[in-house]
């Protein structure tokens, strides 16, 4: 006989979206079950954000030890001990995983480890057990995607999941896809000494970012010896014992030790009982409204499972929003343009708001400023190059510029600065508001201040 247990909310999937929903719902006094087939923390903690950033940090140390002489410090770079890099990466993940499990337990959320399936609009089954609830939240996330006819073998043709477990530095790698994941692996493998080529079908790396950011990244990658083929269509791959040969449309071929397929991630929704219970899917994504409600009144969906930006912090925000809605709080839809985006390569690329192409498409009259990092003391100390680009509505009748519509940063460590950028965008600030605020010197945050000073008509460290 099946055991039945009742909750206020049952959440299927314990990644960023699912566990954020669980924590907030419990805080609001709800009885919550969180069903996870693997480890709470999901892709972000175990196969995504955290392990990649640990590798990128190790990569930065490799570069610094190679380049230390330019700062007058003599060191020698003796190589990369990949098993020990993985041990460091694993220790970071384990520590955060332990912390997360104890946070979840401290909120009295019941974690159920097992594979779940939607049984009805108010029940999820895990083996013989049935978990009933007034509300169900689907948060089963996403998994790596491939292209038709491109078979992944986990050895020569691999996904980011395999790449994160690789206990050696490949001598050479082809990366299919110049989006965030592809660019981050290109950056870190190059720092570790690999010969890297990115194949991207769009005309720029990071196709969702502003063209000027992509150009600066491409220039920096060229200097670092990272090759890329833009506007290039993948045609086929041949495996051999010692490597792969990738053919592109037009006849060009590339050879390398392995091929990393980073062409995006697709939703995990097949075979989980979603459609049978009235949840609509579109290309596998659960269809929701702006408050993450599905067509079934008792079911919501959050995170990578829905067609919103595939970012951990988007999952957190959607999970929290759903918990608050179910608890009867007053909530607002998320403005997805106001979500900060970061690519943690060297150099980093960070942005919030609209790109120049997007404002042009909407026919908005704007003014723009590009402030080079060469004018910023801290960036020169760090020996990093790049820029801060700010786009604001053009003022009317001789008034200064209006609302800031987009902030785009490129350079070492600039990812941390976009937190200020999101306040500017989301609080509808104008350059004149920012021009009054004092940024600490010498910090990289001054590039945000300087760009807004220039837009407000009073540039400081800026060439006329
Ligand atoms: C290499 C890489 C790097 C990334 N870097 C960043 C970054 O720097 N910053 C950022 O914001 N985002 C990053 N992301 C994206 C981020 O990881 C995802 O957006 C985020 O994890 C989505 O959260 P989620 O809860 O929707 O899904 P997931 O984290 O995928 O969680 C879904 C969970 O559901 C579980 N599940 C699935 N089916 C079932 C079932 N039937 N029963 C029980 N449990 C089930 C899975 O085991 C999983 O734990 C990265 C992703 C990758 C792959």
Instruction: Tell whether the model's pLDDT for residue 1 goes beyond 60.
Output: no
**pLDDT band for position 4 (50/70/90)?**
confident
Instruction: Verify whether ligand 1 is closer than 6 Å to residue 345 (CB atom).
Output: no
Residue 152 lies in a domain: no
Q: Is residue 342 part of a domain?
A: no
Integer Rg of the chain from CA: 24
Percentage of the chain with pLDDT > 70? 99
- C-alpha angle 79/92/190, rounded to 5°? 35
14 lines ligand 1 (CB under 6 A): yes
**Which one of 46, 441, 461, 463 is the catalytic residue?**
441
Assess whether the C-beta atom of 294 lies below 6 angstroms from ligand 1: no
pLDDT at res. 242 = 87
**Which one of 245, 263, 281 terminates a domain?**
263
DSSP track, 288-356: --TTSB-SSTTEEE-GGGSSS---HHHHHHHHHHHHHHHTT-------GGGS-EEE-SSSEEEEEE--H
Q: How far is CA 135 from the centre of its chain?
A: 28
Query: 272 and 255, same structural domain?
Result: no
Identify the helix (H) or strand (E) that includes residue 224: none
Nearest to 449, CA basis, from 405, 417, 416? 417
Residue nearest to atom 31 of ligand 1 (CA): 15
Q: Is residue 462 part of a domain?
A: no
Reduced to 3 states (helix: H, G, I; strand: E, B; else coil), residue 194 is coil
Are both 138 and 270 inside the same structural domain?
Answer: yes
- pLDDT category at 239 given cuts 50, 70, 90 is confident
SS3 category, 47: helix
Do 21 and 130 fall into the same domain? Answer: yes
pLDDT range class, residue 2, cuts 50, 70, 90: low
pLDDT reading at 209 higher than 70: yes
Domain span at 27: 3-143+266-336
Q: Decide: residue 97, CB within 10 A, 0-12 exposed, 13-18 middle, 19+ buried.
A: middle
User: Same domain, yes or no, for 357 and 420?
Assistant: yes
Q: Is there a single domain that holds both residue 82 and residue 174?
A: no
- Check whether residue 307 and residue 432 sit in a common domain: no
Q: Rounded CA gap, 384 and 60, in Å?
A: 13
18-22, 181-185, 223-227, 457-461: which range is least confident on average?
457-461
Give me the pLDDT at residue 463, please.
79
For the chain, the straight-line distance linking the first and the last C-alpha, in angstroms and rounded, comes to 79
> How confident is the model over 336-358, as pLDDT tens digits?
999 999 999 999 999 999 999 99
Beta strands 387-393 and 404-411 are antiparallel
The CATH number for 247's domain is 3.50.50.60
SS3 75: coil
CATH number at 395 reads 3.30.390.30
Instruction: Render pLDDT for 378-392 as a digit per residue (tens, 0 to 9).
Output: 999 999 999 999 999
pLDDT of 395 over the 60 cut:
yes
233 contacts 150 by C-beta, under 8 angstroms: no
341 found inside a domain: no
pLDDT tens for residues 95-138? Answer: 999 999 999 999 999 999 999 999 999 999 999 999 999 999 99
Q: Is 340 in the pocket of ligand 1 (CB under 6 A)?
A: no
Asked if residues 400 and 430 have their Cβ atoms less than 8 Å apart, the reply is yes
* pLDDT for residue 235 is more than 80: yes
| 248-252, 337-341, 459-463, range with the lowest pLDDT | 459-463
Indicate whether 463 belongs to any domain.
no
Mean pLDDT for 304-328 is: 98
- The answer on 214 and 312 residing in a single domain is no
Give the β-pairing of 265-267 and 142-144.
antiparallel
State the chain's mean pLDDT as an integer: 96
In the chain, the number of structural domains is 3
Mean pLDDT for the stretch of residues 175-199: 98
Q: How far is the CA of 304 from the centre of ligand 1 (A)?
A: 7
CA 374 to chain centre: 27
Tokens of 445: 């945050």
Cβ atoms of residues 45 and 96 within 8 Å: yes
Atom number of ligand 1 nearest to Cα 310? 19
Chain centroid to Cα 445, Å, comes to 22
Q: Do 229 and 307 lie in a common domain?
A: no
Q: Is residue 151 assigned to a domain?
A: no
Angle value at C-alpha 364, between 358 and 367, nearest 5 degrees: 95
* Same-domain check for residues 304 and 244: no
Instruction: List Cα–Cα distances, 369 to 53, 210, 221, 405, in angstroms.
Output: 30, 13, 24, 12
Q: Is the pLDDT of residue 453 over 90?
A: yes
Last residue in a domain, options 303, 336, 369:
336
Domain identity same for 302 and 423: no
Bridge partners of 387?
Answer: 372, 410
Element (H, E) at 359: helix 356-361
Q: Show the tokens assigned to 272.
A: 């989980």
Dig out the tokens for 338 from the structure: 């106001």
Residue 47 lies in a domain: yes
Residue 212: inside a domain: yes
* Sign of CA pseudo-dihedral 366, 372, 376, 379: positive
Q: Each residue of 272-308: pLDDT tens digit?
A: 999 999 999 999 999 999 999 999 999 999 999 999 9
What is the share, in percent, of the chain residues with pLDDT greater than 90?
96
Residue where a domain stops, chosen among 217, 243, 263: 263
The pTM of the full predicted model, rounded to 2 decimals, is 0.97
Q: Is the CB of 177 under 6 A from ligand 1?
A: no
Same domain, residue pair 319 and 375: no
Same domain assignment for residues 279 and 323: yes
Decide if 441 is catalytic.
yes
pLDDT of residue 300: 98
Could you tell me the distance, in angstroms and rounded to a whole number, from the CA of residue 142 to the centre of ligand 1?
6
């Amino acid at each position: 006989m099946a055991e039945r247990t009742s909750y206020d909310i049952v959440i299927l999937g314990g990644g960023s979206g699912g566990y954020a929903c669980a924590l907030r719902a419990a805080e609001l006094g709800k009885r919550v079950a969180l069903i996870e087939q693997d480890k709470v923390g999901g892709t972000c903690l175990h196969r995504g954000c955290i392990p990649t950033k640990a590798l990128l940090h190790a990569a930065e140390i490799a570069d610094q030890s190679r380049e230390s002489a330019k700062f007058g410090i003599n060191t020698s770079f003796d190589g990369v001990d990949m098993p020990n890099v993985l041990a460091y990466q694993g220790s970071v993940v384990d520590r955060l995983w332990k912390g997360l499990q104890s946070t979840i337990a401290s909120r009295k959320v019941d974690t159920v480890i097992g594979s779940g399936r939607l049984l009805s609009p108010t029940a999820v089954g895990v083996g013989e057990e049935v978990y009933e609830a007034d509300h169900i939240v689907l948060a089963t996330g996403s998994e790596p995607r491939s292209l038709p006819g491109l078979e992944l073998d986990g050895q020569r043709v691999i996904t980011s999941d395999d790449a994160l477990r690789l206990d050696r530095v490949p001598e050479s790698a082809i990366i299919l896809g110049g989006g965030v994941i592809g660019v981050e692996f290109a950056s870190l493998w190059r720092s570790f000494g690999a010969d890297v080529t990115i194949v991207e079908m769009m005309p720029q790396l990071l196709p969702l970012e502003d063209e000027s950011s992509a150009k600066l990244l491409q220039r920096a990658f060229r200097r670092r010896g990272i090759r890329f083929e833009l506007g290039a269509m993948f045609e086929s791959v041949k495996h051999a014992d010692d490597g792969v040969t990738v053919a592109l449309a037009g006849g060009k071929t590339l050879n390398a030790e392995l091929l990393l397929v980073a062409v995006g991630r697709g939703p995990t929704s097949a075979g989980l009982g979603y459609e049978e219970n009235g949840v609509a899917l579109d290309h596998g994504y659960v269809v929701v409204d702006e408050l993450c409600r599905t067509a079934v009144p008792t079911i919501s969906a959050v995170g990578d499972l829905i067609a919103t930006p595939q970012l951990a912090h988007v999952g957190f925000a959607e999970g929290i929003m759903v918990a608050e809605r179910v608890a009867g709080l007053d909530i607002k839809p998320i403005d997805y343009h106001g979500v900060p985006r970061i690519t943690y390569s060297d150099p980093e690329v960070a942005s919030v708001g609209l790109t120049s192409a997007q404002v042009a498409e909407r026919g908005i009259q704007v003014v723009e400023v590009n402030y080079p990092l060469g004018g910023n003391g801290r960036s020169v100390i760090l020996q990093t190059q790049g820029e801060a680009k700010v786009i604001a509505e053009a003022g009317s009748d001789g008034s200064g510029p209006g609302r800031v519509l987009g902030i785009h940063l490129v350079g070492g460590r600039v990812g941390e600065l976009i937190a200020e950028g999101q306040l500017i965008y989301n609080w509808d600030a104008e350059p004149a508001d920012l021009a009054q605020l004092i940024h600490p010197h010498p910090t990289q945050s001054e590039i945000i201040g300087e760009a807004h000073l220039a837009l407000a008509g009073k540039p400081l460290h800026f060439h006329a």
